[in-house]
Chain A
Amino acid sequence: MKDTVAKYRTKRLSDPRIKEGGIKAIFALAATFSAIAAAAIFVFLLATGIPSIAETGFFRFVFGKTWNPAIGEYGIAAAIVGSVYSTVGALLVGGTLGFFCAVYISRYCPKKLKQAFLQLVNLLAGIPSVIYGFFGILIMQPVLGNLSDNGSGAGLLCVSLILGIMIMPTIVSMSVSALDAVPQSIYEGARALGDTRSQAVFGAVVPAAKSGITASFILGIGRAAGETMAVAMICGGAKIIPEGLFQSYSTMTSLIVTGLGELAPGDKTYGAMVGTACILFLFVAIINLTVQAFTGEKKDKPAKKARAEKKTRGTKLLSGKISALRHARPKETVIIKTAGCYISAAISLFALGAIVLFILIKGLPHLSKEGLFSTTGSYSGAQTILPSIISTLMILFLSLLIAVPTGLGGAIFLSEYAKRGNFITKIIKSCIEILAGIPSIVYGLFGNAFFVHVCGLGTSILSGSLTIVLMVIPVILRSSEEAIKAVPDGYMEGSLALGAGKARTIFRTVLPSALPGVLTAIILATGRIIGESAPLMLTSGNGGMGALPDGYTSKGTSLAVLLYWFNKEYAYVDEAWATAAILLMVVLALNLISTISVKLLQKKLRGAV
């Protein structure tokens, strides 16, 4: 009797169609949620931004040079020009450095060091934006001040240098992939025609990787345009169009993050901020769609790519092109370019070393047990850091708790269930692509309007966490998707051929194999959450904390925001250094952990254990 009951139950539970359907529905929901989030941000921006732009009048808003909320004058021309200047400056610095550095890593670096070098460059990408800003103010500006006639190092030059270093890793990693993907036969063909190594690299390999390198530049532009905190800290903040390299100015992002303060939706200035975000968003969205057009084409149409490759392989065409190029290239320029590779590689390592060493050397001495762990929020006139550590951990916990399952579920849906050509799938993918490219300040503004005000959660750790959820879902989703796609098809086929259902196949074979990639994604997201500042500043709290937070509904200033605040309130320089050191160490440690754990897991998967 008992037996039959048990049997009946297992049968019902394991009815394959219900179970499979249910699991698929859950994954689909996760993917849809990501798309809806993108759509919601989009709708919010347009619905709030356009009326307020219209109120000022489009032309007066975009081309007006005066931004003065006190007299109701909202012209963002100066900020737009500031953003454009910063982006161009960053591209000049980061593009040049990144390009040559990528060529070095792909073609000149000893094979053994290649991975290590790439990882070092990627460390630069993991350093929080506030630390760059802090480094810019306290180390770079005094140095640059010596060059300027007004004695101040703040301004376009400093922003370009810092932003350039910040976007360099993006450009390097994407360009290296493009360069590595060039068939060896192209390089060998050039060498066979008598080119030197450098002539072959710059004459044949680089041109063949042109589209990938261009895409990396465009992506870098997107990053630079959306960067907020570092820029806000070093640009100076004057609402004017800069006329030199050392003049205080503003960008669209700095305008929003420094001006929003306690404003609420409904306020005219708040509306103008959203209008500014609207323009920024459109700018960045267009850039990201361009990148997608560049790279997506190759991903989705392997046949087309194969055909194109065949064409480039046609030896006749190739040799003609190469010899033509060789005659057009005097030896000297090639030598200069090669030297550029080595110099750029050295500069990127130097930048990393300088930032890490300066921050640690100046920060570590200020770490004290009292300063760190006193729970009262302050001691003998100084601020303690513990309340912010707790707030950051709370944000980290809640946002990962929501974002990891959602992002992973969405990734599983898109890679294992969604039909390729399906219209809805395409829309979801585009939405996620857009969501991934949205500057963090726009998330902050959305979180402020929606979670803080519309949902009535107020400025709280909860609002901050939810905002962060939206921000990291695409990060986790996209890298998990890559990891899942990299799992050999054979595993799936093997499992299905044994009569396992799709869900079991995914959970028991596909996911375990994708684990290293998924883990990297989660650690990456962790680093981003810990270092994130702009969105949290607008949603979770932006001042020194007098006490530990007593729950998700209380205000909480994250570590990165605290660093910004310490720096702004000149009284807390020591605390600022200490906070910067902690932030940096955490980020570096996370990088180390991810590298090691992924290596171990991969070893295990390969069967060495």
Chain B
Amino acid sequence: MTREDNTKNEKTQSDKKTNILSGLIKKKENSADVFKDGSVSVKNANLWYGDFQALKDVSLEIPDRKVTAFIGPSGCGKSTLLKCLNRMNDLIEGCRIEGRFEVGGTDIYKSADVNLLRKNVGMVFQKPNLFPMSIYDNICYGPRTHGIRKKSELDEIVERSLKEAAMWDEAKNRLSKSALGMSGGQQQRLCIARALAVRPKVLLLDEPTSALDPISTGKIEELTSELKKELTVIIVTHNMQQATRIADKTAFFLLGELIEYSDTEELFINPEDPRTERYITGKFG
């Protein structure tokens, strides 16, 4: 009797302990070890814009520190899926999302703070969207947002990010000049540097080269291959050569459905689905 009581007591106590612990862990989310790596997992994703279904039961596993490309005709939902991964779709009124999205093993729609998520999952948009500030302030925007104020620390971050984005040589002498004075290609690489400055584990690139000339495009492609040593890169592209050049894995979408997803070589040389074949041989889209 007493023993039983005792064990019960112990049990409730240990329960309390785990509760406290989990509370602590929850509070600790700020310390950024929620996302243990840069792997991404999407399970049974469905998404509606109002009545229109833009994603239909999409599931895929994206490996850590690899480049994954999303291809498909425009309007097939590539950007939509990309924006689910850093919850930019939250901003759109009438957007309804179902399914499970994980980054580094954490369910991003349930347990993670959205700002913390976006710090870990960076994004670069189709059109460069640098702020109307100096190059330095642009790069520091993210770090400052997350509480870094010390000048020396910021200087270090700026140099490191610009170097990682292969922009250091071009930008080092004009850090205090407006970022909008740079060329389109330079601006896009500055956007990448700005995203890298907060040390993301995943970098989402939404047709980053579609508005750029071939030389700038080449530079960004080289960059992605460098970046994957540090983080996961997911790139949306409508240029199939680009996918074959830089991506380890490729996913092909059509009308909101994931048609095929495999190693890039496999997908382009030996597609399983006839629709994939028709797309990559240029029959539609």
**Chain A contact residues, CB within 8 Å of chain B:** 10-11, 14, 16, 419-421, 488, 490-491, 493-501, 504, 508-509, 512-513, 604-609
Contact call A604/B178, Cβ cutoff below 8 A:
yes
The listed residue (B118, B130, B180, B181) touching A499 by CB distance below 8 A is B118
Task: Return 9 A-B CB contacts under 8 Å, by A number.
Answer: A420-B93, A490-B125, A496-B118, A497-B123, A498-B194, A499-B142, A499-B145, A500-B115, A604-B132
The listed residue (A14, A497, A606) touching B86 by CB distance below 8 A is A497
CB distance from B118 to the nearest CB of A (A): 4
A32 to B123, CA, bound (A): 36
Contact call B178/A496, Cβ cutoff below 8 A:
no
The listed residue (B91, B122, B178, B180) touching A498 by CB distance below 8 A is B122
Contact call B115/A501, Cβ cutoff below 8 A:
yes
Known: A419-B93, A420-B93, A608-B181. A498 touches B132 (CB 8 A): no
A11 to B180, CA, bound (A): 35
A604 to B194, CA, bound (A): 21
* Contact bitstring B58-89, A, C-beta under 8 A = 1, else 0: 00000000000000000000000000001010
State which residues 163-188 of B face A: CB under 8 Å: 178-181
- 9 smallest CB-CB distances across A and B, nearest first, come from A607-B180, A490-B129, A499-B119, A607-B178, A498-B142, A499-B118, A497-B123, A494-B129, A605-B132
Contact call A509/B131, Cβ cutoff below 8 A:
yes
Query: Does residue B263 face the partner (Cβ distance < 8 Å to A)?
Result: no
Contact call A500/B141, Cβ cutoff below 8 A:
yes
Contact call A608/B141, Cβ cutoff below 8 A:
no
The listed residue (B86, B91, B131, B146) touching A494 by CB distance below 8 A is B131
CB distance from A344 to the nearest CB of B (A): 39
* Contact bitstring B122-148, A, C-beta under 8 A = 1, else 0: 110101011111000000011001110
Q: Which residues of B contact A512 (CB under 8 A)?
A: 132-133
Query: Does residue B47 face the partner (Cβ distance < 8 Å to A)?
Result: no
CB distance from A609 to the nearest CB of B (A): 6
Query: Does residue B116 face the partner (Cβ distance < 8 Å to A)?
Result: yes
Contact call B127/A490, Cβ cutoff below 8 A:
yes
* Secondary structure dominating the interface of A: helix
Known: A490-B127, A504-B145, A605-B132. A499 touches B198 (CB 8 A): yes
Known: A499-B115, A499-B118. A609 touches B195 (CB 8 A): no
User: Whose C-beta in chain A lies nearest to the C-beta of B143?
Assistant: A498
CB distance from A507 to the nearest CB of B (A): 11
User: Whose C-beta in chain B lies nearest to the C-beta of A609?
Assistant: B178
The listed residue with most B CB atoms (<10 A of its CB), out of A16, A420, A488, A494, is: A494
Known: A420-B93, A494-B125. A499 touches B131 (CB 8 A): no
A563 to B118, CA, bound (A): 60
Q: A491-B131, A496-B91 are in contact. List 12 more A-B contacts (CB 8 A).
A: A16-B115, A419-B93, A491-B129, A493-B129, A497-B88, A497-B195, A498-B119, A499-B198, A501-B115, A508-B141, A607-B178, A607-B180
Contact call B141/A498, Cβ cutoff below 8 A:
yes
Q: Which residues of A contact B132 (CB under 8 A)?
A: 491, 512-513, 604-607
CB distance from A339 to the nearest CB of B (A): 45
Q: Which residues of B contact A419 (CB under 8 A)?
A: 93
CB distance from A57 to the nearest CB of B (A): 51
CB distance from A204 to the nearest CB of B (A): 34
CB distance from A509 to the nearest CB of B (A): 5
CB distance from B231 to the nearest CB of A (A): 15
CB distance from A588 to the nearest CB of B (A): 30
CB distance from B27 to the nearest CB of A (A): 8
Q: Which residues of B contact A496 (CB under 8 A)?
A: 88, 91, 118
Query: Does residue B191 face the partner (Cβ distance < 8 Å to A)?
Result: yes
A609 to B181, CA, bound (A): 8
Contact call A497/B91, Cβ cutoff below 8 A:
no
Query: Does residue B113 face the partner (Cβ distance < 8 Å to A)?
Result: yes
A13 to B77, CA, bound (A): 39
The listed residue with most B CB atoms (<10 A of its CB), out of A16, A490, A498, A604, is: A498
Q: Which residues of A contact B115 (CB under 8 A)?
A: 16, 499-501
CB distance from B70 to the nearest CB of A (A): 17
Q: Which residues of A contact B129 (CB under 8 A)?
A: 488, 490-491, 493-494
A490 to B142, CA, bound (A): 15
CB distance from A417 to the nearest CB of B (A): 12
The listed residue (A14, A490, A498, A504) touching B195 by CB distance below 8 A is A498
State which residues 253-280 of B face A: CB under 8 Å: none
A605 to B117, CA, bound (A): 30
CB distance from B174 to the nearest CB of A (A): 11
Q: Which residues of B contact A493 (CB under 8 A)?
A: 88, 91, 125, 129
User: Whose C-beta in chain B lies nearest to the C-beta of A488?
Assistant: B129
A512 to B133, CA, bound (A): 9
A11 to B116, CA, bound (A): 14
Contact call A498/B113, Cβ cutoff below 8 A:
no
A513 to B133, CA, bound (A): 10
Contact call B146/A499, Cβ cutoff below 8 A:
yes
The listed residue (B130, B178, B195) touching A608 by CB distance below 8 A is B178
User: Whose C-beta in chain B lies nearest to the C-beta of A513?
Assistant: B132
Q: Which residues of B contact A508 (CB under 8 A)?
A: 141
User: Whose C-beta in chain A lies nearest to the C-beta of B204?
Assistant: A497
Q: Which residues of B contact A500 (CB under 8 A)?
A: 115, 141-142, 145
User: Whose C-beta in chain B lies nearest to the C-beta of A420?
Assistant: B93
Q: Which residues of A contact B181 (CB under 8 A)?
A: 607-608
User: Whose C-beta in chain A lies nearest to the C-beta of B180?
Assistant: A607
A499 to B118, CA, bound (A): 5
CB distance from A87 to the nearest CB of B (A): 41
Q: Which residues of B contact A11 (CB under 8 A)?
A: 30
Q: Which residues of B contact A421 (CB under 8 A)?
A: 93
Contact call A494/B130, Cβ cutoff below 8 A:
yes
A494 to B86, CA, bound (A): 12
Q: Which residues of A contact B179 (CB under 8 A)?
A: 607
Q: Which residues of A contact B117 (CB under 8 A)?
A: 499
Q: Which residues of A contact B180 (CB under 8 A)?
A: 605-607
Q: Which residues of B contact A497 (CB under 8 A)?
A: 86, 88, 118, 122-123, 125, 195
A138 to B116, CA, bound (A): 69
Q: Which residues of A contact B116 (CB under 8 A)?
A: 499
Q: Which residues of A contact B118 (CB under 8 A)?
A: 496-499
CB distance from A515 to the nearest CB of B (A): 10
A499 to B179, CA, bound (A): 20
The listed residue with most B CB atoms (<10 A of its CB), out of A14, A500, A504, is: A500
Q: Which residues of A contact B86 (CB under 8 A)?
A: 497
CB distance from B135 to the nearest CB of A (A): 10
A294 to B116, CA, bound (A): 45
User: Whose C-beta in chain B lies nearest to the C-beta of A487?
Assistant: B132
Q: Which residues of B contact A490 (CB under 8 A)?
A: 125, 127, 129
Known: A513-B132, A604-B178. A495 touches B141 (CB 8 A): yes
* Contact bitstring B87-116, A, C-beta under 8 A = 1, else 0: 010010100000000000000000001011
Q: Which residues of B contact A14 (CB under 8 A)?
A: 147
CB distance from B23 to the nearest CB of A (A): 14
A130 to B167, CA, bound (A): 60
A509 to B145, CA, bound (A): 12
Known: A606-B132, A606-B180. A498 touches B93 (CB 8 A): no
